[in-house]
Amino acid sequence: MDKPRFSPFLASLRPALVLFLVLSVLTGFLYPLLITACAQLLFPRQAQGSILVRDGHAVGSRLIGQSFSDPGHFWSRPSVTTPQPYNGTASNGSSFGPLNPQLIDAVKARIAALRAADPDNLAPVPIDLVTASASGLDPEISVNAANYQAARVARVRGLAPERVRALIAQHTGGRLAGVLGEPRVNVLELNLALDALK
Amino acid sequence: MPGPTLTLFVGFMLLVLALVKPLGLYMANVLEGRPVWPLRLAAPLERAIYRLCGIEPAREMGWKAYTAGLLLFNALGALSVYLLQRCQRWLPLNPQQLPNLAPDSAFNTAVSFVTNTNWQGYSGESAMSYLTQMVALAVQNFLSAASGIVVAIVLIRGLARHSSGTVGNVWVDLTRSTLYVLLPLAVLLALALVSQGVVQTFSPYREVRTLEPLTYQQPGTAPVTTQVQTLPMGPIASQESIKELGTNGGGFLNANSAHPYENPTALSNLLEMLAILAIPAALTYTFGRMVGDTRQGWAVLAAMTVLFLALLAVLDWNEQRGNPLLAALGVEQTPSATQAGGNMEGKETRFGVAASALFAAVTTATSCGAVNSLHGSFTPLGGFVTLFQMQLGEVVFGGVGSGLYSMLIFAIVGVFIAGLMIGRTPEYLGKKIEAFEMKMSSIAILVMPFIVLTGTAVAVSVDAGRAGAGNPGAHGFSEILYAFSSAGNNNGSAFAGIAANTPFYNVALALVMWIGRFWPIVAVLAVAGSLAAKKRIPVSEGTMPTHGPTFVVLLIGTVLLVGALTFVPALALGPIVEHLMLWGSG
């Protein structure tokens, strides 16, 4: 057994300090640089944020949701980021507990807004359309939430409802291997496709 | 339980169990200096590091010198993280020109990352420069995980060796854990995550022109209309991968693994969950292998798995059941082929209820603390499971290294209790468990409940503590109890309604994190040193086997007994009252 002649802390000082610096360089600089280089080479689009381009302009990311309030577009899930919804630099959710009166009031207001935009629709409102996501940037809604809005979008745009439903089906992501993920629709991609219809 | 949910849970567990033996065997090999090909190529780098640091790799240390070295190494880490945050304004790789952090916040974050907690009082995308994220935070993701691994390895050596005055060389163990275990896994996972859409770039934040203009108003100012959305960028994937592998949990971005840039797809979510459980689960095999009886490791793993699956089922069932108050408003919460249903407040569409519940169970069973949904918006009993798993002492798999060493301490307490019942001197793996081991084990186990409950009691007694609660009533109490449970067990997740970036919480939680991490570590290393010095006693008829179902039940019982007896009164005031109010009001 080693018997340090002086305090064990002092004996450890040089290895502790130098090892800390060496491992910091290795894991703090070289490792992220290596990953960045490989990522830019192998997956440049994903590494840069999966940006969607229309007419030469970046219109968003397929992974980051946007706020829609035009009844002719599909609406995203409610977002509670501040000061504006879908603020990309302030991801956040509500953290309201299930009994919080503010949660109940917010859900009531969201139901009222959906009903006001589509008074004839008497179907129950899908839960994801009236609850805030965890990130405040959820790019997707459930297939149920898209179907719920289909009649409204078709009416406002003067399209046949079947055409809108077909578009939803085209943009529906299923479960990977039948297990992974939930049935869902990417709202920005769906709205881009909708805008592209003549 | 819907079919896909059951398939997900069973399939996930099988994947974890399939990783245990290969990864556990690999770790046993490299940590004893036998790196396998192709990582043997890094051996010259390892030798160069030792030369540079003046380390003699063959020279072993006693437990006291080992402990002193480890504590010093971690103290240096804390100092470095603190200084980098306080100077980031003047340093490179800060394209958003973010200011320096306040002293109390920087102190909290420094302690948080060094203790493997990664409690986050700040919001990543608006507070930390790329340099701080990489060199302060991600470095500690590696080094705090390596620190956990080496403590577990020393405890295993204490059990495996006999009549030995030394327990290993702390510098060699730290270097090998980082170089051969954490780094290669982090590289593979980071690239897999990028392929799914996790961002990895040094470019500044990116502005895009949204489809619709958006008008909003801040209190006291005129309304603003904008069609610009700013997207955060950064070296996210490299940090994300070690954040999960090291059971650290500190997100690059505020929303953590719920953020689509940290966890974009169902597949990235699966990989992240596997990464969190991989090392803690595999270390049980490393343990069995190093003590020369793999059945010992499987027994510990069995106890962890049983606890995990039982608690996961409770969590998922409650979340899928939804919120009765919203059902009363005419909202559709039933799961179907076209929606996940259930309690979707604070959950992402791509994960739904099942993958959110599984992630929450994984991240609180281990001391990871990354979240892909907001635990604070869970149903009362769903939230209860996340809280209770932490309060069991993070032994249901637990943190990287810390889960195994904490569980082995429970095993020592378990054989002691059994020894009392049958009237024999307790022994574990051929080592007599005597007064010193029991004293140190008691300290290792009891310091956590003591600081968690004391911290909570102080916080609810003073204005600065009560002011933090973001929800009214029982849920507000749960937020405070969760914060201290998370800090004391080095988890780092939160009932995020709490406003904890205040001097009171920054300092109180930092103290709880530091004591909750290093007090047990010193006690565990003391146990290891004492066990290593003991003679091995031969197995006799009176020896209680520690690899069969009886021992598994004993171990589970010990964990539940200590956890339940300590925390049930506090839990009754939080999630249990809330559950009765939610379901009794209808």
Residues B378, B409 contacting (CB under 8 angstroms):
no
A73 in any annotated domain: yes
A134 in any annotated domain: yes
**Which residues on chain B are in Cβ contact (under 8 Å) with A147?**
338
Nearest chain A Cα distance for residue B423, angstroms: 36
Shared domain for A109 and A28, answered yes or no, is: no
Query: Is residue B166 scored above 50 in pLDDT?
Result: yes
Shared domain for A100 and A148, answered yes or no, is: yes
The mean pLDDT of B222-243, rounded to a whole number, is 96
Q: What's the CA gap between A118 and A164, in Å, rounded?
A: 16
Q: What's the CA gap between B19 and A181, in Å, rounded?
A: 22
Per-residue model confidence as pLDDT tens digits over B97-140: 999 999 999 999 999 999 999 999 999 999 999 999 999 999 99
Which two tokens mark B316? 């998922």
Grade residue A175 by pLDDT with cuts at 50, 70 and 90: confident
Q: What's the CA gap between B512 and B25, in Å, rounded?
A: 35
Which two tokens mark A161? 């409802």
Grade residue B580 by pLDDT with cuts at 50, 70 and 90: very high
Shared domain for A108 and A175, answered yes or no, is: yes
Shared domain for A135 and A175, answered yes or no, is: yes
Phi, psi at B318, each rounded to 5°: -70, -40
Q: Do B216 and A85 touch (CB under 8 A)?
A: yes
Query: Is residue B506 scored above 70 in pLDDT?
Result: yes
Shared domain for A153 and A69, answered yes or no, is: yes
The mean pLDDT of A41-56, rounded to a whole number, is 96
The mean pLDDT of B520-530, rounded to a whole number, is 98
Per-residue model confidence as pLDDT tens digits over A101-151: 999 999 999 999 999 999 999 999 999 999 999 999 999 999 999 999 999
The mean pLDDT of B378-391, rounded to a whole number, is 97
Q: What's the CA gap between B378 and B384, in Å, rounded?
A: 9
Shared domain for A180 and A83, answered yes or no, is: yes
The mean pLDDT of B58-78, rounded to a whole number, is 96
Query: Is residue A1 scored above 50 in pLDDT?
Result: no
**Which residues on chain A are in Cβ contact (under 8 Å) with B122?**
none
Query: Is residue A178 scored above 80 in pLDDT?
Result: no
Shared domain for A20 and A113, answered yes or no, is: no
The mean pLDDT of B556-565, rounded to a whole number, is 91
Question: With the C-alpha atoms ordered A13, A15, A17, A20, is the resulting torsion angle positive or negative?
Answer: negative
Please give the angle made by the CA atoms of B69, B74 and B79, to the nearest 5 degrees: 125
The mean pLDDT of B399-427, rounded to a whole number, is 93
DSSP code of A180? B
Minimal-distance CA residue of chain A relative to B215: A84
Q: What's the CA gap between B302 and B281, in Å, rounded?
A: 10
For chain B, what percentages of helix, strand and coil (3-state, to nearest 5) are there? 65, 5, 30
**Which residues on chain A are in Cβ contact (under 8 Å) with B354?**
182
Q: What's the CA gap between B348 and B56, in Å, rounded?
A: 51
A2 in any annotated domain: no
pLDDT at A90: 95
Q: Do A128 and B472 touch (CB under 8 A)?
A: no
Query: Is residue B314 scored above 60 in pLDDT?
Result: yes
pLDDT at B563: 83
Minimal-distance CA residue of chain B relative to A22: B49
Which two tokens mark A47? 């590494």
Give the distance from CA B167 to its chain's centroid.
26
A51 in any annotated domain: no
> Which class for B334: exposed (0-12), middle (13-18), buried (19 or more C-beta within 10 A)?
middle
- Determine the residue type at B323: N
Residue-number span of the structural domain to which A189 is assigned: 60-196
How many separate domains does chain A show? Answer: 2
Of A40, A61, A127, the CB nearest to B331: A127
DSSP code of A124? P
Q: What's the CA gap between B21 and B27, in Å, rounded?
A: 10
Q: What's the CA gap between B298 and B296, in Å, rounded?
A: 6
A160 in any annotated domain: yes
Mean pLDDT of all residues in chain B?
95
A3 in any annotated domain: no
Q: Do A134 and B337 touch (CB under 8 A)?
A: no
pLDDT at B4: 86
The mean pLDDT of A69-77, rounded to a whole number, is 97
**Which residues on chain B are in Cβ contact (under 8 Å) with A115?**
none
Distances (CA, A) of B43 to B36, B178, B565: 10, 13, 49
Q: What's the CA gap between B258 and B369, in Å, rounded?
A: 12
